[in-house]
Copies of this chain bind each other. A is one copy, B any other.
Amino acid sequence: MPTDATTTDLHSSLAAVLGDRVAFEGPSLEATREDRSGQRSDAPPVAVVRAASVEDVQALMRIASATRTPVVPRGAGTGLAGGAMSSRGSIVLDVSGMDRILELDAVDELAVVEPGVLNGDLDAAAREHGLWYAPDPASRAISSIGGNIATNAGGLLCAKYGVTRESVLGLGVVLADGSLLRTGHRTVKGVTGYDLTALVTGSEGTLGVIVEATVRLRPIVRGAVETVAAAFPDVESAGAAVGGVAAARVRPAILELIDPVGLARVAEHLGPAALAGTPLEDFAPGETFLLAQLDAGDAADEAEVVARVFADAGGRVSRSTDAATGDRLLAVRRAMHPALASRGSVLIEDVAVPRSRLPEMFREIARIGERYEVEIPTLAHAGDGNLHPNFVFEGDEVPDRIWAAAGELFRAAVRLGGTLTGEHGVGVLKRRWLAEELGEPSVDLQRRIKAVFDPDGILNPGVIFAPEDGGDR
């Protein structure tokens, strides 16, 4: 914690170098206490710097390094794990204003972007050239590429089209000392030295500040998208259908599951009119919803197979090729979060298990829900085994009982061969379970890797790793 004298020095250094891009008070400071996790940090930062250029970021990091001031890099602020929230005594480095698409090369099928570019904006720009940007977190309209890379964001399409890491070719990263590191290439292949691009991807702002990214684009998938949706009598039969799709060697673009508790909340929220004409029209308590979308040249054949697998597993199936119906069914899935948020604060968990263990994981969720006497409505990206069990509670603070239930969820997922976070990141919210998944030796190794990049520990301290002194953030 800086003394008053050094605080004054820090203020004057920041003001001298960054001018009106730094704020020491006002609502912009308070706003950085939150992300989309529903949590709130203990304190506002000492300053918010709205960087306009790589040079701004470098200048800030040099000042922070000289004064040992913690820096929290922040993009659109849509994170779900508390990885970009202010902490006491820190400077929040807001890069959301660095939002230019610097280059879009249609022949090499890549774009060079600043970190604040919104995922959806990049995708829209690519589509003008017959290309698209595949990583599709559900937040793509509001989340930025820098944050997507910092968390190695996932989404709905990952089983078929890969996670964010698979689309990142190279990065510009400002290190703790203010130096600019360039990683990777403009090529798909390249094995000169260690894969620092992949190491920084998913590092949640703890190794450096992403100031530029070279990302792959892909040719737009041609042809009609086929949608197959079904209501199943229970989670077990829907889980069997997921396994059946894999066994039939079909890999859908999208395969989303909503469990009975979640489905009940969605149905209440949307009302009967929204469900008319879908397999959920005659929705009965206890039913589970499964939605598949198939694309590319094999879509029609694959939809046929999926529809048969769903029916064989006991599903009440509807199949459609028109985009409007597909969108309407996807809207049911998208209504999950609003349906829960309308009832209270929502803690969205993010475990992943191998696809074959989904039925077991759903049994664990039911068991934990009963034990802690709490509803756990759950959505799953079933194609890749990523589940979002949700907890709804009152107020700003997650009750201890819910954290205890979440801890059991994490342990169950790890025991089944999975992970405590599939796509949201560890942030500050899940760091206390880190060693349970990775083991102490791996955590220790990773802390030492961080120290190579950031010897003074000023980059996003408390994120991923608990503070060494055991203090809280």
Contacts and interface: CB of A to CB of B under 8 A. Distances in A.
Nearest to A300: B297
A252 to B, nearest CB: 11
A354 B140 CA distance: 28
B297 A446 contact: no
A464 interface: yes
B438 A384 contact: no
A31 B323 CA distance: 62
A152 B195 contact: yes
Interface string A192-219: 1111101101110001000000000011
Interface of A: 105-110, 130-131, 151-152, 154, 158-159, 162-163, 165-166, 179, 181-183, 185-196, 198-199, 201-203, 207, 218-220, 222-223, 243, 246-247, 249-251, 296-299, 301, 352-356, 381, 384-386, 417-426, 430, 434, 437-439, 441-443, 445-446, 448-449, 452-453, 464
Contacts of A425: 191
Given A186-B417, A195-B198, A424-B191, A107 B441 contact: no
Contact of A158 (B158, B189, B420, B438): B189
A386 B165 contact: no
A196 B447 CA distance: 12
B442 A385 contact: no
Given A131-B249, A247-B107, A354 B192 contact: no
A198 to B, nearest CB: 3
29 contacts: A105-B356, A106-B246, A107-B355, A108-B356, A109-B355, A152-B191, A158-B189, A162-B162, A181-B442, A182-B439, A185-B419, A186-B354, A187-B352, A187-B386, A187-B418, A187-B419, A189-B386, A189-B422, A189-B423, A191-B419, A191-B422, A192-B421, A193-B437, A193-B443, A195-B198, A223-B297, A296-B298, A297-B299, A445-B453
A179 B251 contact: no
A44 B102 CA distance: 52
A351 to B, nearest CB: 9
B452 A188 contact: no
Contacts of A422: 187, 189-191
Contact of A218 (B193, B202, B251, B296): B251
Contact of A108 (B107, B355, B386): B355
A464 B105 CA distance: 31
A248 to B, nearest CB: 9
Contacts of A198: 165, 195, 198-199
A306 B28 CA distance: 54
Contacts of A159: 188
Given A105-B356, A186-B417, A219-B250, 8 more contacts: A105-B354, A109-B355, A158-B188, A186-B418, A189-B386, A191-B424, A192-B430, A198-B199
Contacts of A247: 106-107
B183 A442 contact: yes
A166 B196 CA distance: 15
Contact of A438 (B193, B419, B423, B445): B193
A365 B315 CA distance: 61
A130 B249 contact: yes
Contacts of A223: 297-298
A234 to B, nearest CB: 20
Contacts of A186: 354, 417-418
A421 B352 contact: no
